[in-house]
A and B are shown apart, each in its own frame.
Chain A
């Protein structure tokens, strides 16, 4: 009897303790932020980082010369002041004093020179090489750097922002350690990478912007966004970037949701060098048959805005400045007849749904809308890598693309729509007009002048229906309620986590 009673008490106690352990969410004593990501990072070299997770994680560890602020203004980063010469062929930057790399070595102009030269060197396969290709030579002394350019290139200043322009230690570059050792000037220090599972960062107490309030940031891999939302609800994850509008819809009032317009945009790319798309009337028919508002409503649950080609805020295209700002089926049919297809036609569209959450929805919406104008759209669904290899070979008639925007329209489109651009084959369209306009835009230093130039570029692209620009989806960032001070950036960077606090 007594023994049984004792056992019962022990049993109940164990159950209670187990219950508490089970039910209580994992609360840490220190301020540790866990960020949920669906895909693991794929490298440790910031200058070669292209996948979202890698860009976001390494963007907290490394710094660049300039930064882009919440209002998309260029502000000081590792450089505190700068200026072009009169002809715009020379950019001088003065660096911040007292900055140290995470391994303790001081940061100076020699590091900038070595980093930029590494980007320019084809052997490093740096992602941003084309954006600064106009650099002819670099002189560095003390805290001053001078970039000598081959042609006037004002947009190069904006191009100096971002993780692909990370400033590396000349020591690491010389030793060939980039991608193996992680040593930057950013607010968080790299600790470890558990492949397929997590990346751990801790705060950098000597950060030039002041030590972060968070003690650590961990990026944890949880492959589906639905599970990430569940983790947010369970309290095991406190921050996430959500891309699916349907998942975003389920975010409850127990979490904080930031919906911000981004620079990325969705477009129906057309290969204007392939029949029947080499026929301007066919392209215009496509443009006029589509109601972008309807695409946003169905594919993005209403979270997006109609855009023109240029999403850079200072030079934003007017979405109404196009042949058919609203869908006009009659006009579309007229264009088809003018193009020689009075009974409609069938087109194929390459689609990779895994690239972005709204792509599958866009495909369905477009198919349904184009059918009303007599255009049968066949969706050619492929996986990401297949899409890339066919996309690069321009082996498609039309394709639904999710392209990144930049704060400067030059870096956004030079590689696509100039005849010498390395992605012009993919873009499928170029003209002498565009070529000369892009050169003018690059070299002009006056904002008024540039505004006019890029307005002309936009008009040229829309009137020739080079592509059908659809919309810019809102970006969703979700945090736990106790995470305060976060400012989302349209570039997608999570840099503002350096100011964030957890209560």
Chain B
């Protein structure tokens, strides 16, 4: 058993590297992660919050590579900082959703009966609930800090992870070797970890990549409605939303953040494709 897993893991990376989409996606994503780390460390030409009353809405120049916005702030620094914030919100949200969702999904699928029914019902309630209302409620009652936005997005995405995790568990549970293991008295945690988790791994990893990209777009939609990141902090979604009235005479305020959103979302989706190809032998496309 152990040998097989090793081979398949090595094989997975090997297959991933054979997928063009996977490689392109990984490069794009890596670029954005590096950019975010630079922003987090403060390695930016200007402070993203510094307002320069004399430099309002200047076109890209040698001093301000992406130009300045309506408060005289450097668009380049803000874009990079915005990337960092968008990724932070998205990663936090998806991690939370994944941890809670996978746990509940696996437990529900494995334990079955009442436990499963309650989890599925509660998950359906959240799934059918309009995301905007949920986000508004959380933001209105708790606040608009970035972690509250993450919480709102996490709650909306948890049902998907429950669903994705539960499916493979249900199908694997019925398999003979599992039934035998249980009859033989192997402890549940051991069965879970040795046999069930590896089967859940592939769809979860793909779902994580996809959800990360959705979360970034959701955050930008929430910012447009005033429910996401709050000024003066920069998130890509807020920058794009704020740029709507400015775009006609200050194109750089819209183009650069939009470009970065597009690149990171495209990157994440390509990585998801690559992972899907690598981890699921039946679905490998040339």
Q: How far is the CA of A361 from the CA of B50 in the complex (A)?
A: 14
Choose one: B51, B53, B139, B245; the contact of A244 (CB below 8 Å).
Answer: B245
Residues of A within 8 A of B51 (CB): 298, 364-365, 368
Q: How far is the CA of A70 from the CA of B245 in the complex (A)?
A: 31
Residues of A within 8 A of B245 (CB): 226, 244, 246-247, 249-250
The answer to whether B232 touches A298, judged by C-beta atoms less than 8 angstroms apart, is: no
The answer to whether A364 touches B140, judged by C-beta atoms less than 8 angstroms apart, is: no
Kindly identify, within residues 139 to 173 of chain B, every residue whose CB is under 8 Å from any CB belonging to chain A.
139-140, 143-144
Most chain B CB within 10 A, of A244, A250, A353, A368, is at A368
Kindly identify, within residues 207 to 262 of chain A, every residue whose CB is under 8 Å from any CB belonging to chain B.
226, 244, 246-247, 249-250
* A136 interfacial by beta-carbon distance below 8 Å: no
Kindly identify, within residues 45 to 67 of chain B, every residue whose CB is under 8 Å from any CB belonging to chain A.
49-51, 53, 56
Smallest distance from the beta carbon of A188 to chain B beta carbons, Å? 32
Choose one: B71, B230, B244; the contact of A298 (CB below 8 Å).
Answer: B71
Least CB separation from A382: chain B residue: B140
Choose one: A226, A365, A383; the contact of B244 (CB below 8 Å).
Answer: A226
* A363 interfacial by beta-carbon distance below 8 Å: yes
Residues A294 and B53 in contact in the complex (CB < 8 Å), given A249-B249, A365-B71: yes
Kindly identify, within residues 350 to 391 of chain A, every residue whose CB is under 8 Å from any CB belonging to chain B.
353-354, 360-361, 363-365, 367-368, 379-383, 386
Residues A364 and B71 in contact in the complex (CB < 8 Å), given A354-B226, A383-B136: yes
Q: How far is the CA of A297 from the CA of B143 in the complex (A)?
A: 29
The answer to whether B140 touches A360, judged by C-beta atoms less than 8 angstroms apart, is: no
* B231 interfacial by beta-carbon distance below 8 Å: yes
Residues of A within 8 A of B53 (CB): 294, 297-298
Q: How far is the CA of A250 from the CA of B248 in the complex (A)?
A: 7
* B72 interfacial by beta-carbon distance below 8 Å: yes
Residues A368 and B248 in contact in the complex (CB < 8 Å), given A294-B53, A301-B70, A383-B140: no
Least CB separation from A385: chain B residue: B140
Least CB separation from A386: chain B residue: B140
Q: How far is the CA of A103 from the CA of B145 in the complex (A)?
A: 55
Q: How far is the CA of A226 from the CA of B71 in the complex (A)?
A: 20
Kindly identify, within residues 220 to 261 of chain B, every residue whose CB is under 8 Å from any CB belonging to chain A.
226, 230-232, 244-246, 248-249
Least CB separation from A246: chain B residue: B245
Residues of B within 8 A of A249 (CB): 245, 249
The answer to whether A364 touches B72, judged by C-beta atoms less than 8 angstroms apart, is: no
Residues of B within 8 A of A364 (CB): 51, 71, 231-232
Kindly identify, within residues 419 to 454 of chain A, every residue whose CB is under 8 Å from any CB belonging to chain B.
none
Q: How far is the CA of A297 from the CA of B51 in the complex (A)?
A: 11
Smallest distance from the beta carbon of A272 to chain B beta carbons, Å? 25
Least CB separation from A250: chain B residue: B248
Q: How far is the CA of A365 from the CA of B51 in the complex (A)?
A: 8
Q: A250-B245, A368-B51, A383-B136 are in contact. List 8 more A-B contacts (CB 8 A).
A: A249-B245, A250-B248, A250-B249, A298-B53, A361-B70, A363-B232, A379-B232, A383-B226
21 contacts between A and B (CB under 8 A): A226-B245, A244-B245, A247-B245, A249-B245, A298-B56, A298-B70, A298-B72, A361-B70, A363-B231, A364-B71, A364-B232, A365-B71, A368-B49, A368-B71, A379-B232, A380-B143, A381-B230, A382-B140, A383-B136, A383-B139, A383-B226
Q: Which residues of B contact A (CB under 8 A)?
A: 49-51, 53, 56, 70-72, 136, 139-140, 143-144, 226, 230-232, 244-246, 248-249
Nearest first, the 8 A-B pairs at minimum CB distance are A246-B245, A364-B232, A368-B51, A381-B230, A381-B144, A298-B71, A364-B231, A247-B245
